[in-house]
Amino acid sequence: MADASDLSLLVQALQRGDTGAVITRGQALLQAEPDNDQARLLLAIALQQKGDADTALEYYAELARRHPNDSVHQGNYATALRQAGDAQAAEAHYRLAVALDEGNAAQWANLGDLLVERQAYVEGRDALLRALSLGDDSPATVIHAARACSLCRDYRAEQLIAGWREWPLDDPELIFELADLHVTLGDAHAAAELLEGLRATHPDELKVSLLLASVHERMNHREQASDLLDEIKRTYPELDPVAANEWAHQRATLALRARDVDTARQRLQALQPRHEFDYGHYFTLAEACDKSDDRAGAMAALEKAHALQMGEFRLAVPHRFEPEAPVLPAAVARVSRAQMMAWPRLTSPTAAESPVFIVGFPRSGTTLLEQMLDAHPHFQSMDERPFFNALADLLADHGLKVPEEMARLQQADCDELRRAYADMVAGKISRRPDKQLVDKNPLNMLWLPLICRLFPDARFILALRHPCDVLLSNYMQNFRSAVLAMACADMAQLARAYVQAFECWQHHVQVFMPQVFVSRYEELVADPVHQTRRLAAFLGLDDAGPMLDFDRHARDKGYIATPSYAQVIEPVNTRGMNRWHRYREALAPALPILQPLLDYWGYSAD
């Protein structure tokens, strides 16, 4: 019978990487002692490290068979099955592993990773969050959990990776995953920082250079993006098919940004989508077709884009496809005047101490207004963030429904919510106390009761634009938000969402009577000098001049995390006006639904 020293020698050999010695001695030991499962495990590990996955799998299977109630052995077997490509069997054994030991964080993490890989995004997210709750705070698990949250459009994704600069990150693959996640979540500066660091230490990593080139384009560094793509082509004259496809997509995007529409369209039509749910390919193709006046081509591409997007969303947010699920959940519940009057009177910030809120249905000119205010030295804006959605979710976690049960909020509650809001803002920008905050999020128009509870004296700017132009522009956008993307699935649904959003807004404006400035896009672009003076007067400013220099200011800022990032770096122009006339046939199902609001705001459908 082997003593402890025999196993110790195997462990030492494995630690120094001498897999050959482990295999030779381990097999001899097992021959002498067929029941020695410690030797069997070390032998399986050595075989796996040496690359003999099939034989290793046999040993892991034997260990799982011999120890059916051991969570670790079931998990090890599951991992070996996953590496062998048998995802279904691997899932079954991971599930058995966590059932045997519900406190095993590592097995929950493994199960979560596999479920996400198998496109069971919601269950995968929950498994990874369970691993975190059980104490697995390794960067890999945090990043994978954040990625799963991101896929499920879960606001916790950003919170999970907020402290990434403090992590001990040394795995290049993990750093790349984090950079890619930052791109998805809209933090291009963090992504660029990580990718530049990776390029410095791993200059031959093609995927790093390709992702960095796309980040440069999104930061309006088009020349840098083009130069990097040229460098990639010189370094790798024969790209593999996946990399070549990505490279060509980026070249097409740059051509489109440079208004070389024909080149962009030809390239895109010759390319294939980059992955199963690459609806971005079709949204970009639709843009190229639209700019070359191929309306039929644009609508055909958009139909494919929305179909693919809904396919992914059925996996990512299945609850939104349940019968009777509202398109705009935040627009359903309303607060009456009598309910609001029953709210307790509380101390709150003044108008000057409150943010200025820019609201309105998306694609109504909210980003233009934000950049105009941000160009003024009195204000400081930030990239669009759904902070009030997050606050409502926080209250829901504590059993309070927004807005139905907001009468329960007392002074301490509102003070704490304002602190939470300030913390979220500080997580996105370096707050300047001498500047007034501008919070631009179009669908904050649905959160008016919560905003008015926390900032009752705040000023609001409502961005208006011809509803038909708004609908067309929304339908053409690749929204990351599940709410917006699903609202845009077809024209009739989009029109109903638009009407519902304004019905919610108008109802609560009558209840809370906030200070509101209505900015019509058509008037703003026709006479920006006069309209910015009106806006400045509403906000108590003496000089509106800096607002007119918004395009230079936006170019200097670089990254703007909205679909209109390519437009707001240009001076005011009228190109976006009355585009809908060219697509009247596509908008036909929406016109009867929109008619009441067209009449209310004085717009014509002729």
H or E segment to which residue 455 belongs: none
**How far, in whole angstroms, is CA 186 from its chain's centroid?**
7
Lowest-pLDDT range of 391-400, 484-493, 546-555: 546-555
Q: pLDDT tier at 11 (50, 70, 90 boundaries)?
A: confident
Q: What is the assigned CATH class of domain 4-207?
A: mainly alpha
Q: Can you give the pLDDT at residue 316? A: 96
Domain range 329-601, CATH architecture: 3-Layer(aba) Sandwich (3.40)
Whether the Cβ atoms of residue 254 and residue 217 lie closer than 8 Å to each other: yes
Asked if the model's pLDDT at residue 188 lies above 90, the reply is yes
Beta partners for residue 467, in sequence order: none
- Domain 4-207 identical in fold to domain 329-601: no
453-464 pLDDT, tens digit each? 999 999 999 999
CA distance 597 to 142: 46
Helix (H, G, I), strand (E, B) or coil at 517: strand
| Arithmetic mean of pLDDT, 282-311 | 97
Asked if the model's pLDDT at residue 414 lies above 50, the reply is yes
Q: Can you give the pLDDT at residue 567? A: 54
CA distance 7 to 9: 5
C-alpha separations of 111 from 64, 114, 134, 147 in Å: 17, 5, 14, 15
- Residue 232 tokens, joined: 């990639």
Average pLDDT score, the chain:
93
236-287 pLDDT, tens digit each? 989 999 999 999 999 999 999 999 999 999 999 999 999 999 999 999 999 9
Nearest alpha carbon to residue 523 among 591, 603, 443, 459: 603
Lowest-pLDDT range of 24-28, 214-218, 229-233: 24-28
- Pinpoint the alpha helices (H) of 16-120: 19-32, 37-50, 53-66, 71-83, 87-100, 105-117
550-595 pLDDT, tens digit each? 877 666 655 455 555 455 555 666 666 789 999 999 999 999 999 9
| Arithmetic mean of pLDDT, 595-602 | 96
Residue with tokens 């200097």: 556
Beta partners for residue 436, in sequence order: 379
Q: Can you give the pLDDT at residue 550? A: 84
Q: Can you give the pLDDT at residue 572? A: 66
Q: Can you give the pLDDT at residue 1? A: 43
| Arithmetic mean of pLDDT, 202-210 | 95
Beta partners for residue 380, in sequence order: 437
Whether the Cβ atoms of residue 524 and residue 544 lie closer than 8 Å to each other: no
- Give the total residue count for the chain: 606
Q: Can you give the pLDDT at residue 559? A: 47
CA distance 295 to 363: 20
H or E segment to which residue 236 belongs: none
Domain residues of the chain, as ranges? 4-207, 238-321, 329-601
C-alpha separations of 582 from 94, 296, 298, 526, 587 in Å: 55, 11, 11, 21, 10
Lowest-pLDDT range of 19-28, 102-111, 140-149, 286-295: 19-28
C-alpha separations of 490 from 273, 313, 314, 497, 564 in Å: 22, 15, 16, 11, 21
The model's pTM is 0.89
**Domain at 238-321: CATH code:** 1.25.40
Phi, psi of 464 (to 5 degrees): -120, 145
